[in-house]
Structure 1
Amino acid sequence: MTGVTGVTGVTGARWLTNTHVVDVLTGEVLRDRSVRIEDGLIAEIRAALPPGADAHDLGGRHLLPGLISCHTHLSVVFPFEDTREDESPALTAFRAAQRAEDALRAGITTLRCVHEQNRIDLVLRDAARRGWIRAPRIFGAGRALSTPHGHGEGADCAYATGADGFRRAALGELAAGADHLKIFINSGLAREGEDFEHAEMSDEEIAATVRAAHEHDAYVVAHSGESRAIRQALAQGVRSFEHAYALDDDTARLLADREAFVTPTLCVTNSADWMRENRFGEASIANAQNAIEPHRESFRRAVAAGVQLVNGTDIPPADLVEGVPAAVYEMFLMARGGLDNLRVLQSVSTTAAGLVRAADWLGRVAPGFTADLVAVDGDPVRDISAMGRLSFVMQGGRVVRDDFTVSTR
């Protein structure tokens, strides 16, 4: 049996063989293993392939959990000023569905969306569950919550003011099926004249959003630029922070102490060529370029403090940046910024699974876990560049892609 025909469905038992299994918890590599997949789950890992087994030969590649990308906007329009808040949901769906399929083929088997026009993440999540489209499994926020003239202005957010207004907006997204809520506690880098030091929400507005989330077994994600607003949101119960462009040592330690998560999105400030290819204005590019060094220093502080760091791109995660998908480029940037290779791998697996509250079934190659898997040429624990040679993708026991065709035993 050859190619992608070795594992074709989510029922019955199949084997992946001739592979080196990476334990992303410890960094140990289990060499020359065979992995039994049954009903979409990893059922067994063993050294010897049983006689007569229906097997798919991975050709000595290293096997890892499928990638989990934690800051995604599938519906975003570039440049931002071309966004139309009255856009047809059908048009939004076509754009977002293509990006979702591209992400899956790039090895991103799970996405956390943190604002989508027309709540299209929730639509795609349902369509994927029904088998109508091929997409990563999606944890969605629906529409982000923004003040009327805040960072989310013009992006089809749910606009609100005051504690009561934010509570109503939060309940609206939760009723639509959101897994988490997104707020903007700072401005950002997208527009000319913007800076990330401007706070946008009061304590009462943040607290009302957090309470609504907790009442519905959800949590709050905060677009965040600098330390003062991060400390403000931490005090109100926010557990997930995006970007952190200007993070001081004390706030980094506080984030670690509170076991909060940070998605640094280093791609945002390190993708000038990609931005030009997507017709960003030079003012936006200059904002990003000017933030490179503070962003890098903030990341180093988070690494040193032991903050839980997860991978997210803020640009479509399968878009090529420096020749690799953005999610992989983000891994390379994290490694260059001082995160050791194992923690880089954990940022797209175990740590990310903990953030989306799926640590008991996603993010590991281990019995009982979902068979979301990728294979790469080389050992990424020793050399993270191996992640740029990803050539096999499985989601829920189904082979999505295999670029390396070999004969099986």
Structure 2
Amino acid sequence: MLFRGFTTVRDAGGCDWGLAKAVDEGTLIGPRILFSGHALSQTGGHGDMRERGDEALVSCGCCHGTNVTLGRVCDGVPEVRKAARDELRKGASQIKIMASGGVASPTDRLSNLQFSIEETKALVEEASNAGTYVCAHAYTAQAIRRALECGVRSIEHGNLIDAETLDLLIAKDAFLVPTLVTYDRIRAEGVEAGMPAALVDKVADILERGVEALALADGKGAQICFGSDLLGTMHKHQSAEFAIRSRVQTPEAILRSATATFAELTGLQGKVGCIAEGAYADLVVVAKEKSPLDDITVLCNPESILMVVKDGRIELDRRRKQ
């Protein structure tokens, strides 16, 4: 990711303190990571990956019986509070929740509402108490609206959002994080990656609805951040999100979503997404004749990036090859 020009990333489920720490201390080369730990899910929700015939959650002693996939199942106000506090104890930068059904989960429908209002408000309160926020996986307008009314700050995906709900998102000073490339790559590589064919067939319409939602949000002036939601072997396609968004957004708007608006969402204003005194000195250098302000798809090709600087240190320098 770092060599693709991403110097700071937010992980919305699965990454943990160990990986982020390894990058911070220089053991691994990569972007600084704002991780969520386990994404929190209700029983039978998008983070509950049990098939219908399964009973026990996947667990092990070292994880104290919690789900060791990217999701953590919790139900009821006391249990969701404890789960949020535990993820925060382990260093989570924000809390991720599953507020609606999803594409990849085996037993829920996309239209499902997940977590009660009381549970969601409790999760928002716990995040706020720790000086952070909740981001929510949500597809439908109904799920998004309920999450926003409970105080959720960031909506992940949002493919089925409508104009009225976008107005609420803007009024709440919340953020939309489309993740269009994941549907494009699932459609192309999902079966090969082991996903059921029926699941792969679902995503074509979801992708197009997501592009329409992005156009609507952009036209209304919503706060939009860059996202990808790629798993496993699909990570390499992260930068293809730039090209998909270029169908409905200007290069400047797309760059802003990956820089200044991201900084606003994560509370890193003046540190990332800018060139200013006191900032982290993160820079991505491209060839003069390949400005992304003229053609954003330049960033889809990592070879177009000549140099990456993180914390004032040159991490990648392709100029030496030229």
Name the TM-score class by shorter chain: 0.7 to 0.9
Out of 240, 252, 262, the position equivalent to 1:352 is 262
Determine the C-alpha separation between the residues in 2 that align with 1:332 and 1:301.
Answer: 18
* Further displaced range: 241-250 or 262-271: 262-271
Alignment partners' CA distance in 2, 1:253 and 1:305: 8
Q: Do the aligned partners of 1:210 and 1:237 also contact (CA within 8 Å) in 2?
A: yes
Alignment of 1:381 with 2:293, yes or no, is yes
User: 1:319 & 1:148 partners in 2: Cα distance?
Assistant: 27
Change (3 A) 1:390 1:275: farther
| Moved >3 Å (runs of 4+) | 191-195, 316-320
Q: Which residue of 2 aligns with 1:328?
A: 239
Shift in CA distance, 192/237, structure 1 to aligned 2, threshold 3 Å: closer
Question: How many Å separate the matches in 1 of 2:220 and 2:107?
Answer: 32
Q: Which runs of structure 2 are paired with 1:134-213 in the superposition (5 Å)?
A: 134-154=29-49, 155-191=69-105, 194-213=108-127
Identify the structure with the greater helix proportion: 2
Counterparts of 1:15-164 in structure 2, within 5 Å, are 103-116=1-14, 120-154=15-49, 155-164=69-78
Corresponding residue SS for 1:312:
coil
Deviation at 1:384, TM superposition (A): 1.2
Q: 1:195 to 1:289 in 2, by over 3 A?
A: farther
Aligned-residue offset at 1:244: 0.6
**Aligned-pair Cα RMSD in Å:** 2.0
Q: Calculate the TM-score normalised by the size of structure 1.
A: 0.69
Q: Are residues 115 and 248 of structure 1, via their aligned partners in 2, closer, same or farther at CA, if it must alter by over 3 Å?
A: same
Deviations 1:253-312 (A, max 9, x none): 211222211111011222222334423221121111132332222222111111111111
State the AA in 1 paired with 2:111: E
Q: Please give the alpha-carbon distance, in whole angstroms, between the structure 2 residues aligned to 1:351 and 1:285.
A: 31
Q: Does the alignment pair 1:235 with 2:149?
A: yes
Question: With CA pairs under 8 Å and 6+ residues apart, which has the higher RCO, 1 or 2?
Answer: 1
What is the deviation of 1:316? 4.8
- For 1:235 and 1:168, how far apart are their aligned partners in 2? 22
1:344 Cα deviation (Å)? Answer: 0.3
Superimposed CA distance per residue, residues 155-198 of structure 1 (whole angstroms, 9 cap, x where no aligned partner): 35222111121111111111111110010110111146753211
Is this contact kept in 2: 1:190–1:287, CA < 8 A? no
CA distance in 1, matches of 2:197, 2:270: 45
Aligned partner of 2:296: which letter?
A: I
Contact 2:103 2:202 in 1 (8 A): yes
- Report the residue type matching 1:235 in the other structure: E
| Preserved contact between residue 316 and residue 326 of structure 1 (Cα < 8 Å) | no
One of 161, 164, 172 as aligned partner of 1:250: 164
Q: Distance in 2 between matches of 1:404 and 1:275?
A: 36
Q: 1:167 corresponds to which letter in structure 2?
A: R
Please give the per-residue CA displacement for 1:313-372, whole angstroms capped at 9, x wherever unaligned: 11059947xxxx533211111111x21111100111111111111011111123332121
The answer to whether the Cα contact below 8 Å between 2:43 and 2:73 also exists between their aligned partners in 1 is: yes
The answer to whether the Cα contact below 8 Å between 1:224 and 1:230 also exists between their aligned partners in 2 is: yes
Do structure 1's residue 223 and structure 2's residue 137 form an aligned pair?
A: yes
Instruction: Output one character per residue of 1:130-158: Cα deviation in whole Å (capped at 9) or x when no partner.
Output: 22221210111111111121110133522
User: Taking every aligned residue pair, what percent have the same amino acid on both sides?
Assistant: 31
Between the aligned partners of 2:105 and 2:121, the Cα distance in structure 1 is: 28
Q: Relative to structure 2, which stretch is displaced further, 213-222 or 277-286? A: 277-286
Task: For 2:41 and 2:292, locate their aligned partners in 1 and report how far apart those are by CA, in whole Å.
Answer: 39
Q: 2:3 and 2:216 mapped to 1: Cα distance?
A: 33
Q: C-alpha separation between the residues in 2 aligned to 1:397 and 1:318?
A: 30
In structure 1, distance between residues paired with 2:279 and 2:286: 20
The separation in 2 between residues aligned to 1:382 and 1:335, in whole angstroms, is 11
Q: 2:229 aligns with which of 307, 314, 317?
A: 314
Aligned residue-pair number: 297
Greater strand fraction, Structure 1 or Structure 2: 1
TM-score in terms of structure 2 length? 0.87
